[in-house]
Amino acid sequence: MPDRIVINTGPLLALIAATGNLEILQAYQQVIVPSEVDQEILADPTKDFGKHAFLAASWLTRLKGPTAIPPHLASTLDPGEASVIATALAQGINTVAIDETVGRRIARLHGLLVTGSIGVLIRHRPTDTMPLSQAISRMRQQGIWISNRLIEELRRLGHLESGHDQP
């Protein structure tokens, strides 16, 4: 079972969009959600589609109270990304799940291992239950942005078929 992970809003919502729930994250020993991420999901009406599945995942470790975010993170990132990185560093957790490019780059600069929603799907999705192309299509239907460059890279790496398997 993989280690602990601190997760941001984007991957949580993308995984809910892709699979309908967050069960795929149970492959991790512990999934930590900073309070800032919790608030982003629960307070934003544009994220309503994911609230039920998020709340149903009672096994998530949802932190209470604000995260102590260093000024350099607070001035560079949104509160969710900044709290994910700060939480991982404070708790000695080496892996974070962030989908946004700038957040991923800054996490790596802090020595953290980075994955995202697609990485979680590739590593932990039972391949016989849902093709990756179907998961990506479901994400896009919920308004989750996935670049065409990433789709082409997934095809190049053999995670998506070149022809009829179109997300």
Q: Is the pLDDT assigned to residue 160 strictly greater than 50?
A: yes
Domains contained in the chain, number: 1
Average pLDDT, the chain: 91
Summarised one tens digit per residue, pLDDT across range 65-116 is 999 999 999 999 999 999 999 999 999 999 999 999 999 999 999 999 999 9
- Give the whole-number percent of the chain exceeding pLDDT 90: 75
User: For the chain, how big is the Rg over CA atoms in Å?
Assistant: 15
CATH number of the domain at 85, please.
3.40.50.1010
The HSE-up count of residue 76 (CA atoms within 13 Å, CB side) is 18
Instruction: Determine the average pLDDT of the residues in 110-123.
Output: 95
35 domain-assigned: yes
Answer whether 45's CB lies under 8 Å from 51's CB.
no
pTM of the model: 0.91
The range of the structural domain enclosing residue 88 comes to 4-120
150 domain-assigned: no
Whole-number Å distance between alpha carbons of 35 and 48: 17
Q: Cα torsion at 53, 54, 55, 56 (round to 10°)? A: 40
Whole-number Å distance between alpha carbons of 11 and 157: 21
59 domain-assigned: yes
Q: Which residue has the higher pLDDT, 166 or 19?
A: 19
Please report the beta strands in the chain, taking only residues with DSSP state E, as ranges in sequence order: 4-7, 30-33, 61-62, 95-97, 113-115
